[in-house]
């Protein structure tokens, strides 16, 4: 089994006739999926998603793949192939297209419709090519065949990529629900056919590789939702991913069965469901869908709200409701359903939302106490099934944290894939497929690219560390004016704090220490303001650490009077 190494060198030239694969995101993490394939000097990109920030990344809106290795090669890219319409696969496109607006985008009908709606908000009109399961497209040296897969959003596709170096099969996100709501199952016949042809490199979804057995069918959720609606005396509020069209369809069906009206709340929810309804992926009987104003005039036992915020996002509708920061107020008769999986890293945020809602007396239904959601990713039993059908020569687990990637590699090994043909890579690790053998040959620099408001890539890890310190430890500023000729402090020290302590005089005892430190430095001939500021920072930091066991941000200002 091949392992990445922190000291991997830059890769050498791609051998003639070889295929190069490098993930710029999505390996060792859940999100910002982006894979670049290279053959004969031409590039093909599969997906371009975003990662959502954790609590340790304050102020960050989104995290992008690192495009740095592509910036000088944009003209060599044939196209971007999109496996499906989830944000962790399409959310980075507006930022990639800033580098090359005419970059062709290939995807299914729904995927492209969601992309186009997103790009309109960025005032970008993309060049698109709609593809469907069973279709084939030739782009430079890449011969693409698209295969239907079942996922938690309609119209998802796997892609088989043929080059003279061999056949690569990228599953995208998939599972093997045998009774999907849209009757569109994962096309195992095509997987088997490709396996018979010979899959040289299998890039396979790892998210649920640790979960034994098979994922329950989406159809099992319908009766659970029906039971919840039947017991609810007041409003039903359902929080879901904005892209989970299947789940919203089940909510609408339950609402119709119980004589309720439905309103969508939240910009992304309204946008996505509008696209899905226009294209026929969401079926809403006449008169069921109403505006929020119309819903507010109905009795509570006839109202259903579908909103975002199932992951505890601070600005999403459900979080604001839980914080009493929204026009929608909930109480003991209301029922809230969190109809989504819990993305790793969001546990604390989701628990805060659940507690905030429960405090009002509302009943909160979530995956932990009822079957109101099933995953969109294949579990171990399904992955074993697919490995045995495809019989790949080389395997590269993708889409998952390290524990998922390793669990997926273990499944591949159990089905007979040789140890030295299983490639465990992480973001930036370069894998070459040469003469039928996949191996790690180096790495390219990749990092997190933060979107902060209108800024892209302007925030560094140092800045995030400063933000964390400010949020956790507070801020102390010290102003001192000195007379360099006399060697004395003539004004101050004036000390101000924010977020450090409620008592404004808590730092009075350190003032004499600061004055003494500055005057001793002046007497020793230190007159550079920067050096004096560093001495002030040290003396205040030492005192605060010893006295309060805290490490706030300290900003000293020393000026010459």
Asked if residue 34 belongs to a domain, the reply is yes
Residue 552 CB neighbour total at 10 angstroms: 22
Specify the range with the lowest mean pLDDT, choosing from 8-12, 125-129, 268-272, 511-515: 511-515
Average pLDDT for 137-151:
97
Question: Does the structure show a pLDDT above 60 at 200?
Answer: yes
Q: Which of 413, 444, 475 is the last residue of a domain?
A: 444
Rounded CA-CA distance 179/222 in Å is: 12
Phi, psi of 76 (to 5 degrees): -90, -5
**What is the domain extent for residue 267?**
218-365
Asked if residue 503 belongs to a domain, the reply is yes
Question: Does the structure show a pLDDT above 60 at 470?
Answer: no
Highest-confidence segment of 133-147, 235-249, 329-343: 133-147
Identify the three-state secondary structure at position 166.
strand
The confidence score (pLDDT) of residue 54 equals 55
The confidence score (pLDDT) of residue 471 equals 52
Sign of CA dihedral 521, 524, 525, 526: negative
pLDDT in tens, 315-367: 577 777 777 777 788 888 889 888 876 666 666 777 788 888 888 888 888 87
Residue 3 CB neighbour total at 10 angstroms: 10
The confidence score (pLDDT) of residue 248 equals 92
Asked if 359 and 406 sit in the same domain, the reply is no
Separation in Å, CA 266 to CA 112, 261, 315, 324, 386: 21, 17, 10, 16, 38
Asked if 282 and 310 sit in the same domain, the reply is yes
Asked if residue 7 belongs to a domain, the reply is no
| Among 31, 70, 61, CA closest to 48 | 31
Q: Which of 333, 365, 397 is the last residue of a domain?
A: 365
Average pLDDT for 172-192:
94
The confidence score (pLDDT) of residue 343 equals 65
- The secondary structure of 95-131 as a DSSP string is HHTTT-TT--EEE-HHHHHHHHHHHHHTT----EEE-
Average pLDDT for 437-452:
85
Q: Which of 314, 332, 365 is the last residue of a domain?
A: 365
The confidence score (pLDDT) of residue 500 equals 63
Question: Does the structure show a pLDDT above 70 at 284?
Answer: yes
Average pLDDT for 383-395:
97
The confidence score (pLDDT) of residue 495 equals 78
The confidence score (pLDDT) of residue 331 equals 81
pLDDT in tens, 537-553: 787 777 777 777 777 77
Asked if residue 370 belongs to a domain, the reply is no
The confidence score (pLDDT) of residue 1 equals 42
Residue 214 CB neighbour total at 10 angstroms: 16
pLDDT in tens, 262-272: 999 888 888 89
Question: Does the structure show a pLDDT above 70 at 134?
Answer: yes
Rounded CA-CA distance 222/538 in Å is: 63
| Among 276, 283, 282, CA closest to 109 | 276
Asked if 401 and 353 sit in the same domain, the reply is no
What angle is formed at CA 69 by the lines to CA 66 and CA 75, rounded to 5 degrees? 115
The 3-class secondary structure across 407-454, one letter per residue, is HHHHHHHHCCCCHHHEECCCCCEEEEEECCEEEEEEECCCCCEEEECC
Residue 149: DSSP 8-state: -
266-289 residues labelled b (16+ CB within 10 A) or e (exposed): bebbbbbbebbbeeebbebeeeeb
Asked if 413 and 533 sit in the same domain, the reply is no
Asked if residue 9 belongs to a domain, the reply is no
Name which residue leads in pLDDT, 22 or 494. 22
Question: Does the structure show a pLDDT above 70 at 411?
Answer: yes
pTM: 0.79
Rounded CA-CA distance 51/71 in Å is: 20
305, 237 in Cβ contact below 8 A? yes
34, 47 in Cβ contact below 8 A? yes
Asked if 40 and 69 sit in the same domain, the reply is yes
Residue found under tokens 């930036």: 428
Asked if 132 and 167 sit in the same domain, the reply is yes
Separation in Å, CA 196 to CA 146, 388, 393: 17, 11, 11
pLDDT above 70 coverage of the chain, percent = 88
Asked if residue 454 belongs to a domain, the reply is no
Strand 303-307, strand 335-338: pairing: unpaired
Residue 74: DSSP 8-state: G
Asked if residue 456 belongs to a domain, the reply is no
The confidence score (pLDDT) of residue 244 equals 87
Specify the range with the lowest mean pLDDT, choosing from 23-32, 78-87, 391-400: 23-32
CB hemisphere CA count around 452 (13 angstroms): 15
Asked if 361 and 388 sit in the same domain, the reply is no
Asked if 70 and 118 sit in the same domain, the reply is yes
pLDDT in tens, 474-483: 667 788 787 7
- Specify the CATH number for the domain of residue 59: 3.60.15.10
Which residues are within 8 A (CB) of 542 and not within 5 positions of it... i.e. 6 or more apart? none
For residue 296, what is the enclosing H or E element? helix 292-296
The confidence score (pLDDT) of residue 360 equals 84
Asked if 28 and 150 sit in the same domain, the reply is yes
**Count of structural domains, the chain:** 3
Band (373; pLDDT cuts 50, 70, 90): confident
Rounded CA-CA distance 10/14 in Å is: 12
Specify the range with the lowest mean pLDDT, choosing from 172-186, 233-247, 421-435: 233-247
Cis peptide before 474 (omega within 30 of 0): no
Band (2; pLDDT cuts 50, 70, 90): very low
For residue 133 the two structure tokens come to 């399961």
- Specify the CATH number for the domain of residue 315: 3.40.50.10710
Band (3; pLDDT cuts 50, 70, 90): very low
Specify the range with the lowest mean pLDDT, choosing from 41-55, 126-140, 245-259: 41-55
- Specify the CATH number for the domain of residue 539: 3.10.20.580
The confidence score (pLDDT) of residue 516 equals 77
Phi, psi of 330 (to 5 degrees): -115, 155
pLDDT in tens, 487-531: 777 777 777 776 666 666 677 777 777 777 777 777 777 777 777
Average pLDDT for 134-156:
96
Question: Does the structure show a pLDDT above 50 at 151?
Answer: yes
Which residues are within 8 A (CB) of 514 and not within 5 positions of it... i.e. 6 or more apart? 478, 480, 492, 493, 495, 536, 539, 540
Asked if 193 and 304 sit in the same domain, the reply is no
For residue 546 the two structure tokens come to 């010893």
Q: Given its phi and psi angles, is residue 124 left (phi above 0), alpha (psi -120 to 50 degrees) or beta? A: beta
Asked if residue 5 belongs to a domain, the reply is no
The confidence score (pLDDT) of residue 4 equals 45
Asked if 350 and 248 sit in the same domain, the reply is yes
Asked if 438 and 469 sit in the same domain, the reply is no
Strand 335-338, strand 363-365: pairing: parallel
Question: Does the structure show a pLDDT above 80 at 111?
Answer: yes
pLDDT above 90 coverage of the chain, percent = 51
Name which residue leads in pLDDT, 437 or 459. 437
């Amino acid at each position: 089994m091949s392992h990445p190494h922190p000291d991997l060198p830059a890769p050498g030239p791609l051998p003639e006739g070889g295929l190069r694969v490098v993930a710029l995101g999505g390996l060792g993490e859940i999100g910002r999926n982006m894979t670049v394939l290279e053959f004969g000097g031409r590039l093909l990109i599969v997906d371009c998603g975003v990662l959502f920030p954790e609590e340790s990344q304050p102020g960050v809106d989104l995290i992008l793949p690192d495009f740095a290795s592509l910036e000088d090669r944009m003209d060599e890219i044939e196209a971007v192939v999109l496996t499906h319409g989830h944000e962790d696969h399409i959310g980075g496109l507006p930022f990639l297209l800033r580098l090359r607006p005419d970059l062709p985008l290939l995807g299914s009908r729904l995927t492209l419709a969601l992309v186009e709606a997103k790009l309109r908000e960025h005032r970008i009109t993309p060049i698109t090519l709609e593809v469907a399961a069973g279709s084939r497209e030739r782009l430079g040296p890449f011969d693409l065949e698209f295969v239907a897969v079942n996922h938690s959003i309609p119209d998802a596709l796997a892609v088989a990529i043929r080059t003279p170096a061999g056949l690569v099969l990228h599953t995208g996100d998939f599972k093997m629900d045998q009774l999907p709501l849209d009757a569109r199952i994962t096309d195992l016949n095509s997987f088997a056919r490709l396996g018979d042809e010979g899959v040289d490199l299998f890039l396979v979804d790892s998210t649920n590789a640790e979960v034994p057995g098979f994922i329950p069918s989406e159809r099992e959720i319908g009766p659970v939702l029906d039971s919840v609606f039947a017991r609810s005396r007041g409003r039903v509020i359902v929080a879901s991913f904005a892209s989970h069209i299947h789940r919203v369809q089940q909510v609408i069906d339950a609402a119709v069965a119980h004589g309720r009206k439905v309103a969508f709340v939240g910009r992304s929810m309204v946008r996505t469901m509008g696209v899905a309804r226009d294209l026929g992926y969401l079926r809403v009987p006449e008169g069921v869908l109403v505006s929020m104003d119309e819903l507010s005039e109905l009795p509570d036992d006839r109202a259903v709200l579908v909103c975002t915020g199932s992951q505890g996002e601070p600005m999403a509708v459900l979080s604001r409701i839980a914080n009493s920061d929204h026009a929608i107020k909930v109480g003991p008769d209301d029922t809230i359903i969190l109809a989504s999986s819990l993305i790793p890293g969001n546990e604390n945020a989701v628990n805060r939302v659940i507690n905030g809602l429960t405090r009002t007396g509302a009943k909160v239904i979530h995956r932990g106490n009822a079957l109101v959601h099933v995953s969109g990713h294949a579990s171990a039993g399904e992955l074993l099934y697919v490995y045995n059908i495809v019989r790949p020569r080389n395997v590269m687990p993708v889409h998952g944290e390290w524990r998922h990637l390793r669990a997926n590699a273990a499944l591949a090994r159990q089905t007979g894939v040789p140890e030295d043909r299983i490639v465990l890579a992480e973001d930036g690790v370069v894998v070459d497929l040469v003469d039928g053998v996949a191996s790690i040959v180096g790495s390219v620099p990749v990092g997190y690219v933060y979107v902060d408001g209108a800024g892209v890539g302007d925030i560094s890890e140092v800045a995030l560390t400063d933000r964390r310190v400010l949020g956790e430890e507070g801020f102390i500023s010290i102003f001192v004016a000195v007379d360099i000729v006399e060697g004395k402090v003539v004004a101050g020290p004036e000390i101000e704090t924010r977020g450090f302590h409620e008592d404004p005089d808590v730092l009075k005892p350190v003032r004499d220490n600061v004055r003494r430190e500055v005057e001793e430095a002046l007497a020793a001939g230190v007159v550079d303001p920067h050096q004096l500021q560093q001495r002030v920072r040290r003396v205040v930091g030492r005192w605060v650490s010893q006295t309060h066991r805290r490490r706030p941000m300290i900003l000293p200002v020393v000026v010459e009077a």
